[in-house]
A = this chain, B = another copy of it.
Amino acid sequence: MSEPVPATPTRFDLRALFPVLRWGRHYDRKSLAEDLAAALLVTVLVIPQSLAYALLAGLPAEVGLYASVVPALLYALFCSSSALAVGPVAVASLMTASAIGDFAAVGSPAYWPAALTLAFLSGAMLLAMGLLKLGFLANFLSHPVTSGLVTASGLIIAFSQLKNLLGLSGGGNSLPEVLVSLLPQWQQVHGLTVAVGMGSLAFLYAVRLGLKPLLLRWGLAARATMLLVSAAPVLAIAVTAALTWAFGWHQQGLKIVGSIPQGLPPLTWPSWDPTLLRQLAVPALLISIIGFAESVSLAQTLAARRRERIEPNQELVALGAANLGAAFTGGLPVSGGFSRSVLNFESGARTPAAGAFTALGILGATLLITPLLFYLPQATLAAGIVVAVLSLVDLSLLKRTWGFARSDFAAAAATLLSTLLLGLEAGLALGVGLSLALHVLRTSRPHIAEVGLVPGTQHFRSVQRYTTRSSPRLLALRVDESLYFANARALEDHINDAVASRPALAHVVLLCSAVNDIDASALESLEAIELRLREAGIELHLSEVKGPVMDKLQGSRFLQQLAGPVFLTHYQAVAALAPEVLHDDAAP
């Protein structure tokens, strides 16, 4: 027997809980230099992103910075990934706004404590799931569903940023909500804001689509190019903030970030209102699951490129600790961010220490440079968000799954559409439910192939696909599915029909190489099939029953009921029951 997931030590092992105790012992000057260089670059990227995602969540801008300090430090202490960078992310911020917006207005005194409560609940859930080793649950989020969710969120967020790019107000958690909120304001579009916002957006896309290929063509290394392109948002921020300061644009109606308090992240206390806890429980669970699934998939992709491994349950613990940290230091729900993690990886981070250094860099920023951000236009931040989230949008999956399997396409399309139209929670529930339902539905209608001997081998394949040898006295059926309650009757029907059209039949052999399990309902069906065949003068046999299934059958009366033995190989079954099939074809 083999275990699909590597066994984790059952004895309590401090180094299992704190991976830092392992990698920290070998930490050397070279790693330090590389981690510090990466941290510097990531810090520059993360500052504007953190401000923007806090605003997206409906919170003051500085909350984004706070959520990038202690949570990132705690994550570094517990994590098993050397590349993942943790902080506020687009999808979690959208879900935070959606969850809290139902019962507290943006800017009201109840709003921020509710976000802290959400982070606390999410952290507690992630931690509990990690300690209970429930990391495998993320596997139930299939790739089409995750991709549909992320693409739809990207589109919703991009559209919701229109308000900041056009100088309007309002928003929503689904595409119709956003459009219904913004469209009636078309006459209030603010020219200066459009100029700054759309200008920044044009600049960022020009760098991405124009400068980047150009630099690469000029022979600049891919990594250097990426670093230069990553610096573009900082340049946009510096220029638009300077212009706003110089020309007093904020007095002409351009919204700016305004004063951000200077100082350490505050010690905070989530709200313990039982009604609030109850209302936020489901959103917290969804934020946890989506955040975890996304983080672990990203961390695995990055780790694989360096031949490293990550431990999903340890990542749950680390993300849980990070969110608990966010709850008590003025943050919001955090998760592994895509662009910051990729930048961290590409700029050479060797260990989780890089994440800790980034956190210290942002701490420095909250202490020193926040006054410089006063004149920063919100439209410039919005442009940065739009570029970041549209890079998450991946419609090619729809095309690929359409060609590959309609059920995957259906799951992706249903998730994408329901998220766009109804919001993230409905999209997630519908996507996961539909994927599982389609899988179960498929297994409830098993493919059953009649097989014959492939001449020159001891191998049996479908008589419809290969030239095979068989006998009218023996019907060999390969059942291509585990037998369980949902398909037990289909097997009965199939065998009844197959037998009806073969008057010379004396033996039915079920080739069980693809039967990975037999449950109690299917066992009853097999007993009924055997009884019925026997009354018609036909013997039922099994061949190639696998070890684990055989172990289960041993305890049942079905095996005693069978006329003959269970054949180890289908070739032996045919040799015993219809040797004429093998005639001078036996030797390979």
Contact = CB atoms under 8 A, between A and B. Distances in A.
A515 B588 CA distance: 26
A445 B4 CA distance: 6
A488 interface: yes
A181 interface: no
Contacts of A473: none
Interface string A556-588: 100000000000110110000000000000111
A535 interface: yes
A448 B144 CA distance: 25
A219 interface: no
B403 A444 contact: no
A551 to B, nearest CB: 10
B481 A516 contact: yes
Interface in A519-556: 519-521, 523-524, 528, 531-532, 535-536, 544, 546-548, 552, 555-556
B447 A516 contact: yes
A528 B304 contact: yes
B520 A2 contact: no
Contacts of A447: 1-2, 516, 546, 548
Interface residues of A, number: 90
Interface stretch (A202-210, A224-232, A456-464): A456-464
Nearest to A588: B586
Contacts of A139: 444, 485-490
Q: Tell which of A464, A520, A535, A536 has the most Cβ of chain B within 10 Å.
A: A520
Contacts of A436: 436, 440
Contacts of A586: 588
A517 B443 CA distance: 9
B457 A569 contact: yes
Contact of A520 (B1, B401, B523, B531): B401
B556 A404 contact: yes
Contacts of A547: 449, 461-462, 464-465
Interface stretch (A25-33, A121-129, A329-337, A492-500): A492-500
A136 B404 CA distance: 26
Interface in A121-174: 136, 139-145
Interface string A384-413: 000000000000010011011101100000
A484 B439 contact: yes
B496 A309 contact: yes
A144 B521 contact: yes
B142 A485 contact: yes
Interface string A457-477: 111011011000000000000
A283 to B, nearest CB: 23
A568 B141 CA distance: 33
A435 interface: yes
A221 to B, nearest CB: 21
A494 B407 contact: no
Interface string A278-307: 000000000000000000000010001001
A336 to B, nearest CB: 17
Given A485-B140, A588-B586, A532 B304 contact: yes
A513 interface: yes
Contacts of A449: 2, 546-547
Given A457-B569, A568-B454, A408 B519 contact: yes
Contact of A458 (B142, B400, B528, B588): B588
Contact of A493 (B5, B480, B531): B5
A520 B404 contact: yes
Interface in A89-118: none
A450 interface: yes
A439 B486 CA distance: 10
A143 B516 contact: no
A201 interface: no
Interface of A: 1-2, 4-6, 136, 139-145, 300, 304, 307, 309, 397, 400-401, 403-405, 407-408, 435-436, 439-440, 442-450, 454, 457-459, 461-462, 464-465, 480-482, 484-491, 493-494, 496-497, 513-517, 519-521, 523-524, 528, 531-532, 535-536, 544, 546-548, 552, 555-556, 568-569, 571-572, 586-588
Given A4-B491, A397-B520, 15 more contacts: A1-B464, A4-B446, A6-B493, A141-B485, A142-B519, A144-B520, A304-B532, A307-B536, A435-B485, A454-B568, A457-B569, A459-B544, A459-B571, A461-B547, A514-B514
